[in-house]
Structures are given as structure tokens and as C-alpha cells.
Homo-oligomer: A and B are copies of this chain.
């Protein structure tokens, strides 16, 4: 049974709606709701909820925390999936790529252009893809999104087409 560790950091994928004030923000992780809809008989999942922020508000120190948790998780995981806001995903990916020279397992970033709570969200697709990459690919640092697997370095958000591409 493969061990997959999820590290959640907030971002668009995890934004939720507050009916009292109408705000859409990062309040708690929604990952368990997505996982409850998937059939995953061959893996065991551990979840670490690290940060609840729009990724535009993530600081360098937040990214260091993600790096530390990823380093720890590598010791006992067959793969790591990081839920991340898309606006600064490439910065955190770049940091991990520079600091973890020889990843022991696949480290896969994913997120969404539309929060999971919306009917037309891409969150379920992207988490499904990240989980499938987690059991298929060689150690490395990647983004899995919109039917593409892209390896760092050189991954960036295409802000017109709202997806990730290689530079």
C-alpha cells in the first residue's frame, strides 16, 4: 500500500464561501471532500494542513515551511502532493527544485483555477491527476493540472489561458 502525503496550503482550490459576509477566502481545507468522491483502493493518504492563504499572500517564510514539511514527508512517503494557489505556485516549486536536489519520491503540485466548492471547478480533475501521477512517475518535482504533467524548473502559469505550461 503506497503512502501519499498531501500538504495543503490554501489557494483558490480551497477557498470557501462565508454566508454571513459574502467573502470567498481560505478558511479550512476542503481536500477531504474531494477525496471522499474518489476510489483509491491502492493507497493510504496522510494530510498535513500547513497554511490557509491566498497564494498571493504567501511569504518567503511560508515557502520555507512548505519546504521543511516536504523534506520531512519525503522520509516516509511514496509521493507528496502539494495543494497550492496558482498565482505563486511557480515560486514555491522553484524553491523546492533548488533546495531538494535529489527528491526521493515524486513531489507533485496541483491546485485549481476555480474553487472546489463551485459546480464547474477543475479541482476534482486536478487532484485525480495528481494522485495518478503520484503512483506513476519517477521522483522529481512537477505540476499536474489539466491533463498535463510538467517538470520543474521552467513551469509557469499562463495567465491568459488559465493553465500551466513550460516556459
In the complex this chain forms, how many copies of it are found? 4
Given contacts A24-B24, A42-B148, contact A125 B128 (CB under 8 A): yes
Given A22-B54, A41-B146, A43-B147, 18 new contacts (CB under 8 A): A17-B114, A19-B113, A19-B162, A20-B159, A37-B125, A39-B113, A40-B146, A41-B147, A41-B148, A41-B161, A41-B163, A117-B119, A119-B119, A124-B128, A125-B128, A128-B128, A133-B136, A135-B148
A120 touches B122 (CB 8 A): no
Note all chain B residues with C-beta closer than 8 A to A120: 37, 117
Distance A43 CA – B12 CA, assembled complex (angstroms): 25
Interface residues of A (CB under 8 A from B): 12, 17, 19-20, 22, 24, 37-43, 54, 113-115, 117-120, 122, 124-125, 128-129, 131-133, 135-137, 144, 146-149, 159, 161-163
| 30 A-B contact pairs sorted by A residue (CB < 8 Å) | A17-B24, A17-B115, A19-B162, A20-B162, A37-B120, A38-B125, A38-B147, A39-B122, A39-B125, A39-B146, A39-B147, A39-B163, A40-B146, A41-B147, A42-B147, A42-B148, A117-B118, A119-B119, A124-B128, A125-B128, A128-B128, A128-B129, A129-B129, A129-B132, A131-B147, A132-B144, A132-B149, A133-B136, A135-B147, A136-B136
